[in-house]
Amino acid sequence: MILDNKNILITGGTGSLGKVLVKRLLSGDTGTPKQIVVFSRDEAKQHFMRLAFLNRKSATDEVIYQNFKDLLTFRIGDVRDFHSVSGVVRNADIIFNAAALKQVPSCEYFPYEAVQTNIGGPENIVRAIREHDLNVETVVGISTDKAVKPVNVMGMTKAIQERVFLKANLDCKNTRFVCVRYGNVLASRGSVIPFFHDQITKGGPVTITTPDMTRFLLTLDQAVDTVFAAVKEAKPGETYIPRVPSARIIDVADALIEKRKIKKVIIGVRPGEKIHEILITEEEIHRTLDRKKYYAIASILPELAGVKKIKPLLKEEFSSKDDLMSPKEVYQLLKKNKLLIGDSILEEGEMLR
């Protein structure tokens, strides 16, 4: 078991991905960790997450006092602060960096805030490992399709995050740095499905940026599967990408509306949005390897790549505009994952706040 008896650190662990990651770690699918540390700066989110995993409605003081003795522990801190990061990474074997500013419009209006979290945070992790000569085994950077040919600040900062982590393999010889890159996670906080749920339950209208907009879609469990696959299989400097379907966002809206008399309104593309997303570029297909359910992109740095000339797996870039699911397939995907209005995901969404 790859994570058996490991000290695991999850930065930004109170987010949607972090919560499902913790749930899967506690299930024992990948072994029994020695300790899981959730590191984030929002004490309220930590408080509610702690109660959720303890199955308690309220906390008494001993829950806080016993925090550091438990398998699942919570630590207040900020990836932007080097001192804070240094204190939390020193005992880690495996680090999952899920801390991020990820809302596209927010990053456009506050670009330097995105730089500090999405670039400065990863650099602080690398610097702490390098300067303190720590024995961290693996660091996994969580990236996004928006980092590919980026047109918005969120994507630009995530693209640099990838390079910060992957280059770190040359500076921290005892640590393996890898990344995962994927598209829209169904029902994650701030994503389009909870947004559509809210609009539909209020009677509409449902706002669509443009009828042509497409996105890659995967579940939170598929995102976590990708992270675990990277820990298990990825070589230093590689980026793991799941082979997932894509869909038109308007088809997602129609599937959620079902037969309700809800009006759709076209509002135009928001600041920094793309119409289509890309997971692998034309340049990257020459470094892309087959890993069954995943693609693995070898590092651009020759010291790490170790890939001789290969026959490209793809004929062109891996774009969300290609191989789209039909409206029926989109509906079935949402139904299978209990994402339709009235399904249990709305109750579960309380835990995902």
Q: Indicate if 146 belongs to the active site.
A: yes
Residues contacting residue 347 through CB under 8 Å, at least 6 positions apart: none
Compute the distance between CA of residue 97 and CA of residue 134 in angstroms, rounded to an integer: 17
Phi, psi of 64, rounded to the nearest 5 degrees: -70, -45
Compute the distance between CA of residue 144 and CA of residue 183 in angstroms, rounded to an integer: 6
Catalytic residue among 6, 19, 102, 146: 146
Sequence letter at residue 196: F
Task: Check if the beta carbon of residue 175 is closer than 8 Å to that of residue 138.
Answer: yes
Compute the distance between CA of residue 132 and CA of residue 203 in angstroms, rounded to an integer: 56
User: Token digits for 104?
Assistant: 């596209």
**β-strands 176-182, 184-185 pairing:** unpaired
Compute the distance between CA of residue 162 and CA of residue 151 in angstroms, rounded to an integer: 16
Compute the distance between CA of residue 201 and CA of residue 205 in angstroms, rounded to an integer: 10
Task: Check if the beta carbon of residue 293 is closer than 8 Å to that of residue 330.
Answer: no
Compute the distance between CA of residue 97 and CA of residue 48 in angstroms, rounded to an integer: 21
Residues tagged active-site: 146
